[in-house]
């Protein structure tokens, strides 16, 4: 599970600046507000343009009937109600509106947010029932965060290279009950990021999880509550052992642990009845695991372990594969050290 389906780099929001015009200071539009009640007593207000006046200010600025207003002067409308929205329009003479066009409100939407459309990250919540796949790549979510609690139709979520050191910035993560595929790869997530309050254990339909290239030294306890998990990828971390408690993941059939510090895999492979694919290259296995001798599993990676090398292979073993430096995460791989002539 290294990537999600390729998605277009689209900016799914528009920004318009409106000014009151005319003797009565009209905006040239009619708004309709709706309050939706989601699971967990979460109430979310949405505001849609019901009509625009011919030749009015709104039409002149490109606002169309059916547009949904995501924010007003950078205030997210989900946190408001209709009376407060009306008051904003009454009290101000100039407003900046962030708009979702009507075509974005259809079901089955797939969105990718990168540095090219980073401002759109604040309006993702407004897609609500319409978004099925979301990728956020290279956006520093540790600073801005993202509200996910309204995305009740989301099935696939990838948050890579987002500078996450905890899951706190992922507000409403626990509401994503339909998500079956989650990638948190290429972040700064260490063991203390996966507390009981992180929300991950509430993703009851999660089947594929990728925690590669983080700072984990142990399997997070919240994993053992994901009983439907089928594919687990924790590549390039600092794992040294595989705990017996991993046996609680009885649906697991694919386990990828390349690039860690693991020296034994036989203890757990005997306890996972459906496990059929195992990748454990670039670890610290000193001898051939029984699972390979018996041929019970499809081994997709075993190279770069000590027992697969020749005795004169001049490589050193790092105590950590990945650490956090001043400039960010640094990979400490095995290297050849050849003395100069």
Structure confidence at residue 35 (pLDDT) = 82
- At 140-162, the pLDDT tens digits run 999 889 999 889 889 999 999 99
Whether 338 is covered by a domain: the verdict is: no
Whether residues 268 and 212 fall in one domain: yes
Structure confidence at residue 277 (pLDDT) = 87
Q: What is the 3-state secondary structure (H, E, C) of the chain?
A: CCCCCCCCCCCCCEEEEEECECCCCECCEEEEEEEEEEHHHEEEEEEEEEEECCCCHHHHCCCCCCCEEEEECCEEHHHCCHHHHHHHHHHCCEEEEEEECHHHHCCCEEEEECHHHHHHHHHHHHHHHHEEEEEEECCCHHHHCEECCCCCCCCEEEEECCCCCCCCCEECHHHCCCCCEEECCCCCCEHHHCCCCCCHHHCCCCCEEECCCCECCCCCHHHHHCCCCCEEECCCCCCCCCCHHHHHCCCCCEEECCCCCCCCCHHHHCCCCCCCEEECCCCCCCCCCHHHHHCCCEEEECCCCHHHCCCCCCECCCCCCEEEECCEEEECCCCECCCCC
Mean local confidence (pLDDT), 66-92: 89
Q: Which two tokens stand for residue 68?
A: 């949904």
Supply the CATH number for residue 180's domain. 3.80.10.10
Whether residues 121 and 74 fall in one domain: no
**Among 25-29, 273-277, 308-312, the least confident range:** 308-312
Whether residues 54 and 114 fall in one domain: no
pLDDT band for position 117 (cuts 50, 70, 90): confident
Is the pLDDT confidence value at 179 over 90? yes
Whether residues 291 and 246 fall in one domain: yes
The total number of structural domains that make up the chain: 2
Question: What is the rounded distance in angstroms from the CA atom of residue 17 to the CA atom of residue 97?
Answer: 6
Structure confidence at residue 321 (pLDDT) = 55
Domain boundary, last residue among 72, 102, 132: 102
Question: 60 is in which domain, residue-wise?
Answer: 14-102
Whether residues 50 and 111 fall in one domain: no
Whether 3 is covered by a domain: the verdict is: no
- At 238-289, the pLDDT tens digits run 999 999 899 999 999 999 999 999 988 877 767 788 888 888 899 998 888 8
Structure confidence at residue 322 (pLDDT) = 58
Whether residues 83 and 205 fall in one domain: no
Backbone angles phi, psi at 322, to 5 degrees: -140, 135
Is the pLDDT confidence value at 69 over 50? yes
Whether 63 is covered by a domain: the verdict is: yes
Domain boundary, last residue among 61, 87, 102: 102
Supply the CATH number for residue 86's domain. 2.30.42.10
């Amino acid at each position: 599970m290294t990537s999600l389906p390729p998605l277009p780099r689209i900016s799914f929001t528009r920004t318009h600046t409106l000014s009151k015009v005319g003797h009565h200071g009209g905006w040239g539009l009619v708004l309709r507000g709706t309050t939706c009640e989601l699971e967990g007593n979460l109430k979310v207000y949405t505001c849609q343009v019901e009509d625009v006046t011919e030749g009015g200010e709104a039409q002149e600025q490109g606002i169309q009937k059916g547009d949904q207003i995501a924010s007003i002067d950078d205030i997210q409308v989900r946190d408001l109600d209709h009376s407060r929205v009306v008051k904003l329009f009454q009290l101000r003479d100039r407003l900046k509106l962030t708009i979702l066009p009507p075509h974005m409100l259809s079901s089955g939407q797939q969105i990718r947010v990168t540095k090219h459309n980073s401002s759109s990250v604040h309006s993702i919540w407004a897609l609500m029932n319409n978004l099925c796949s979301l990728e956020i790549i290279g956006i520093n979510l540790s600073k801005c965060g993202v509200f996910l609690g309204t995305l009740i139709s989301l099935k696939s979520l990838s948050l890579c290279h987002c500078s996450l050191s905890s899951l706190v910035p992922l507000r409403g993560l626990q509401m994503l009950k339909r998500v079956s595929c989650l990638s948190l790869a290429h972040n700064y997530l260490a063991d203390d990021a996966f507390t009981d309050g992180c929300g991950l254990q509430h993703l009851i339909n999660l089947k594929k999880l990728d925690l590669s290239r983080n700072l984990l030294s142990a399997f997070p306890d919240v994993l053992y509550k994901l009983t439907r998990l089928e594919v687990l990828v924790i590549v390039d971390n600092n794992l040294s052992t595989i705990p017996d408690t991993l046996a609680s993941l009885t649906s697991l059939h694919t386990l990828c642990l390349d690039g860690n510090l693991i020296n034994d895999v036989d203890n757990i492979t005997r306890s996972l009845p459906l496990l059929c694919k195992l990748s454990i290259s670039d670890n610290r296995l000193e001898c051939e695991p029984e699972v390979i001798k018996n041929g019970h599993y499809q081994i997709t990676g075993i190279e770069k372990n000590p027992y697969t090398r020749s005795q004169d292979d001049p490589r050193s073993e790092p105590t950590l594969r990945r650490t956090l430096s001043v400039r960010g995460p640094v990979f400490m791989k095995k290297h050849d050290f050849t003395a100069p002539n």
